[in-house]
Amino acid sequence: MSANGNVLEASGITKRFGGLVAVNDVDFAVPHKSIVSIIGPNGAGKTTFFNCMTGLYKPTSGTVTFDGSDITAKAPHIVTQAGVARTFQNIKLFKTMTVLENVLVGRHCRMKARITGSIFHTPFVRREERETEARARELLKLVGITRRHQDLAVSLPYGDQRRLEIARALASDPKLLLLDEPTAGMNPQESEQLRELMEKLRSEQGIAVLLIEHDMKVVMNVSDHITVLDGGEKIAAGSPQEVRQDPRVIEAYLGSQA
Amino acid sequence: MSTATEPRPASGHGRSPLAPVGDAFNRVAGMLPQWAWIGFWLILAVLYGLYGSELNDGLYESVIQTLAYVMMALGLNIVVGFAGLLDLGYVAFFAIGAFVAGWFMSGHFADSEIYFIVADQTRNVPGIHINFFLVLCIAAAFTALWGAILGAPTLRLRGDYLAIVTLAFGEIVPRVFELSTSGPFGLGDLDISNGRQGITPVDKPYLPVPGLDDITRIDITPFYFIALGMLLVVLFVNIRLRDSRLGRAWIAVREDEVAAAAMGVHLVRVKLWAYAIGAAVGGFAGVFLGVFQNTINVDQFEFGFSVFILCMIILGGMGNLAGVVLGAVALSMINRFLLPELNPIPDKLGLDFDVTSISFGIFGFLLLTMMVLRPEGFIPNRRRKLELHEDELEGPMEVRAP
């Protein structure tokens, strides 16, 4: 944790694709053990901003600091290693692996087995495999997938696939979990379960959550802090109440004639 | 609207005509526990090794060669089947492995006199003579290194582009050997390949066990058991890696590179390991083939060989070890026996050509037939099967609009 209590700090993030400025000079911070959201109309640059923070994109300018160390433009696996895990807007499960195997892959960067150890099944590797599997089952239970662990990931219902993505991300023992539209395609009851899960992660495991979300009910209920992007710019930030009443936010969502 | 009288298709696109083959296989496979099958095949393999040469000498010899091909197929399966990197230049590692055997197990470097655990009769021949089993390890390590070196430039490529570059490496490596009669790449004056003549003869394997007769080329039974032992090692390594942290990472990378990286998988490292281990297996088998055929000659290292091995794993079922073994055995046997049997046919039809000379046309035809009838191979990996028949999953996919 850095001195000012923020687990993640991004300052002056700009991302240009050729002439298009997808994200323009955005400052952003995630306080320790908080749940913060980024909202905005479609095409506002939310996911691009997300990708800049997880190493998928190199920001054109700006810096990202996680837990006191600079992770700007670091490769995705290094960012994950540092403690940032994420899910994807369009589900990116390893479709032909089983539910359990998906979570095991999520644990990859915390495992230490090497090739010779894996070939000879050293006691260390055997123990690690056992522990990893136990942990994976625990996580699946945590997100609410209690059965069908040996089924192929793609055979799960849609809501469970979203939950599996979260379990897979949690397997890397993150300090910060980035969820890109996790409730897309979920019914209200499932969204509510997800909200409970986020609160539980924060209170029980001290994981901060950064959320991109369209479901305003979820966003307003769960967030400590909301940042609003429109056209790549940060147009508002604050508590749910403040954002809800901000005229620029209303304009961005409803159009200027409203 | 469908009526009750209409035959109900099993799935949206209908079942492939060859599906019963794989189903039957799975049914038979399920009749006994896995260890029983392993025991059964092992006993069969040992019995054949002991008595097979009395039944049919020619068949016995080609079975030994087949064992080496199966190893090659299992090695390529790591790269193509597990990690999903389409490699069309696998022959390069056969070549490198075989030449390592040529360097360290023959009279090629006639100026030196280095002997290490070799038969007494070999000690009369100048050159570098190192024990076969040690050379196996050296070659595996050396080809692994080259697998990583040749794999490194291809890391950013996918699909067709990857195939083209690996194909080029498969062509370049044998040509480098062929032309390096005065120094590798023409630097210096060390002849590393003896050009088109190749390196021959090659030492026989030698086991330093007292009371054991030296291995000769007249009784080839020991070669069978050496190949069988090597194959078991390769299979063991394949199985263990498949179920390991690295094996899961390979499949994850094949499925979705972006997601794999986001899960903390180091893409470069994982891919290089696939290339290196796949290459090591190729070099391992290459040493055996070079020694068994008693010659290391650039004519052995044709592009066709890469395709031949690739056909084996596609035919059998990419990613599935049993499938790969079956495909490799089937294609080797077709190549060795069926095609020569077909030789008189063009003559009878009044055509004048040799069937064996169009063998790759025939393999291509087999491959095409397979792609149409059963693209996942005879004994598919259930993952691979899913990729090709995703629309036929049981029950409709539950996708709700956001």
The ipTM value here is 0.91
Q: Average pLDDT, stretch B271-293? A: 96
The pLDDT value recorded for residue A255 is 66
Measured between CB atoms, which of B255, B260, B264 is closest to A96?
B255
For residue B354, give the nearest of B344, B367, B365 by alpha carbon: B344
Interface check B248 vs A, CB under 8 A: yes
Interface probe with B: pick from A47, A71, A118, most Cβ of B within 10 Å = A118
Measured between CB atoms, which of B262, B277, B386 is closest to A96?
B386
Whether residue B201 is preceded by a cis peptide bond, meaning omega within 30 degrees of 0, is yes
Architecture of domain A6-254: 3-Layer(aba) Sandwich (3.40)
Which residue is it, tokens 């609009």?
B401
Kindly give the pairing relationship between strand A20-31 and strand A35-39: unpaired
Q: What percent of chain B has pLDDT over 90?
A: 48
Residues of A in contact with B318 (CB under 8 A): none
Interface probe with A: pick from B235, B245, B399, most Cβ of A within 10 Å = B245
Residues of B in contact with A85 (CB under 8 A): 262
Inter-chain touch B265–A88, beta carbons under 8 Å: no
In chain A, where are the structural domains located? 6-254
A-B C-beta contacts closer than 8 Å: 124
The pLDDT value recorded for residue B17 is 65
> pLDDT by residue (tens digit) across B132-160?
999 999 999 999 999 999 999 998 888 88
Selection from B141-155, B173-187, B192-206 with the highest mean pLDDT:
B141-155
Q: Which helix (H) or strand (E) holds A170?
A: helix A158-170
pLDDT at B18 over 90: no
Asked if A179 contacts A33 with a C-beta cutoff of 8 angstroms, the reply is no
Residues of B in contact with A118 (CB under 8 A): 240-241, 244-247
For residue A84, give the nearest of A128, A118, A53, A124 by alpha carbon: A53
The pLDDT value recorded for residue B192 is 87
Interface check A121 vs B, CB under 8 A: yes
Inter-chain touch A109–B240, beta carbons under 8 Å: no
Inter-chain touch B384–A111, beta carbons under 8 Å: no
Interface check A181 vs B, CB under 8 A: yes
Q: Average pLDDT, stretch A19-32? A: 91
Q: Which helix (H) or strand (E) holds A226?
A: strand A225-230
Which of helix, strand or coil describes residue B106?
Answer: strand
Six-digit token string for B194: 């003896």
Interface check A213 vs B, CB under 8 A: no
Measured between CB atoms, which of A97, A108, A118 is closest to B240?
A118
Q: Average pLDDT, stretch A188-192? A: 89
